[in-house]
Structure 1
């Protein structure tokens, strides 16, 4: 299928047939992932004739925004069925793209997906900035969840939509049975000490098909909840980054979790800088192990790091008062050791997979 699109049945179709409004693959995967939000400016783009093109903002309305959000896997409720880019959205975008207007969408339109996915990346019940401390307060990381395996904390995770939790594949690989898992939201201490904390049942667990337990790449998984979450300030989603969005080396971000859990322990957090792939690949650090799908964060001198029990939890960065999920805690040598910073799954490299899982399961009612 060199130069072509491969269907799940291994059938090859022309790349220009992808996202043309006509289903050519048996399972319709050629009409998935046809919309993306790209770059730091959050430009909406659609795939047309094998090329990603920027959408003109003229004649934009909420219905088109809603259709675009549904194509990304978001919707107002979990029961709605995705219609894809066909219909009015496809026809109108196609007409606009013929004019090749490379205009940015109005800010309100750009944030449509955030609005319909419950205005991600905000902390409405937290205003205090912690300096030099590591105990987290209620509402400081409202997207943080605890993944409970047979009622015991095993890993962390992040809320990315009303029914979706993002975590690490190594947390669930080998025992991806929904009935033995629960998701605990809205808490800072374990055992649960606040009335707002809730246990939620899991409907489905999906880990990346290319993840292998002896490997370190593709360490990402999604948990679909049985019922959608109600966002209330203590429980909020974190934004996914945009396609192609870059986060500069040295940017200060936050990690959080219940690593090395003990009875009565609180949610801990730490402020850590992002480390360049070049620095993280030095011979004395992780030479040969850092792939494009990974991002490092922490201090080469050691002292602050994620640890066992933090796996799958968020590496969150604030960008213009909006919090984005830059990484998911994946691996590291020891905890807080010199020249052994934390390594995280790079979310920007996994966006296509994330949106595909959310979209295809909405489209086919899975």
Structure 2
């Protein structure tokens, strides 16, 4: 996941020259075999006065105690190696006490705010709402409904667009007698709890049917362990952003016209003609790419606050000239839902065609993937790792022992996490020190911080989509 792209010199703001600081130290476990030294005690004269019977009892008790001690010692000796081995895929490294200092300006530990209202779309495409005061899910009455509200709800669920909505007659539905309903207050607008008023029925006799843009599904998903070649359809949103015929960076499909990648990828080649860029999807191997294949890029839109110095706001949107054709091997990934938080330790996946060895000498012709756990920003900003280089627009994922990582050529690609049966784009491959180096896990642009910008950019009706060079 180095910022150095294929065939290019390292970018100016790499952190490779920074002092990584001391390693993550671990307190050594106390030796279970260490025992207090035997101490000799003078023999008491009372011992000579004991009868032979008392002496036998004492000797028997001592023998029993010695047997228990030896048995316990053997049990500890047998179990200790197994118990002390690190469990693969856990955050044992992070749970250990760090002996290095935490970075200044650490993220504040704010109390999490529980959502007052939640939405979901059931298997019959009916919209349901749940307010905090009630544990049950309520069907939404059609009174006061609008397409604008439908779009807001689709976005809050991690979809890029609203595709269909209508009123469905209650008389056509088979519902439980205990089914509750909720009506949107005509006086208020928004998604807050007080907007939704519980009802025993809908005065219009209709409820809302809602469909959002499809995303996050893997029709041809296969079971392959991390770090091996990927079968077609495993990551249908994976895109290859190519300059001419050469793979430059990864990307993720958000919609038929939209792909998200890293801003630093486009910034590095900003002097090239826009017509030279193409996006390939549904690929596993680059050897099958032929001239003039792929979809032409109509516009490159880097985040306006992107910094080439520290790679903050490292995201860019690509508007395609023609829409992608979705299939079993090509599809969109979902964005994170509104206020959704994936905790540290979540097992997520990163994929790409980047280098497969830390020496950057071998690129993969075949799409590779690997599983990486999310790490806390507090840990990654410690002096043990990146010494405060992570901003609130970044997140960290990987292993402190360096067993797996994204690498050069993977930039812009997806970090996805499962949410039930839905896959969500949690990060965009951004930067890191080297590849798979101990105490230097990968750093990703945090997609949850860019949701408003993504939605606003993709739905600005006044934007002219003429060809434009990136500046």
Is TM (by shorter chain) over 0.5? yes
Query: 1:138 corresponds to which residue?
Result: 232
SS at match of 1:209: coil
Q: Which runs of 5+ in 2 are unaligned?
A: 1-113, 121-130, 133-137, 165-183, 199-206, 357-361, 466-471
Does 1 or 2 have the higher relative contact order (CA < 8 Å, sep 6+)?
A: 2
Deviations 1:129-148 (A, max 9, x none): 22355211100000001000
Change (3 A) 1:234 1:59: same
Residue 178 of structure 1: how far off its partner (Å): 2.6
Q: 2:142 aligns with which of 54, 59, 67?
A: 59
Query: 1:8 corresponds to which residue?
Result: none
Q: 2:285 aligns with which of 189, 193, 201?
A: 189
Aligned-residue Cα RMSD (Å) equals 3.5
Deviations 1:32-62 (A, max 9, x none): xxxxxx9698649xxxxxxxx9999332769
Matched length: 296
Q: Which runs of 5+ in 1 are unaligned?
A: 1-37, 45-52, 78-91
SS at match of 1:154: strand
Deviations 1:341-361 (A, max 9, x none): 00000000111111111011x
Query: 1:74 corresponds to which residue?
Result: 161
Query: 2:35 corresponds to which residue?
Result: none
Residue 102 of structure 1: how far off its partner (Å): 4.5
Query: 1:165 corresponds to which residue?
Result: 259
Deviations 1:181-206 (A, max 9, x none): 00011111112279xx9500111000
Q: Is 1:208 matched up with 2:308?
A: no
Residue 365 of structure 1: how far off its partner (Å): 5.2
- What TM-score do you get using the length of structure 2 for normalisation? 0.56
Measured in 1, the distance between the counterparts of 2:364 and 2:406 equals: 19
**Contact 1:178/1:203 (8 A) holds in 2:** yes
Q: Is 1:284 matched up with 2:384?
A: yes
Aligned pairs (5 A) from 1:1-366: 43=119, 57-59=140-142, 63=147, 67-68=151-152, 74=161, 95=187, 97=189, 100-102=194-196, 112-113=211-212, 117=213, 119-126=214-221, 128-131=222-225, 133-173=227-267, 175-176=269-270, 177-192=273-288, 199-260=294-355, 265-360=365-460, 362-364=461-463, 366=465
Change (3 A) 1:145 1:279: same
SS at match of 1:316: strand
Query: 1:88 corresponds to which residue?
Result: none
Change (3 A) 1:304 1:247: same
Deviations 1:131-168 (A, max 9, x none): 35521110000000100012210000000111000000
- What TM-score do you get using the length of structure 1 for normalisation? 0.72
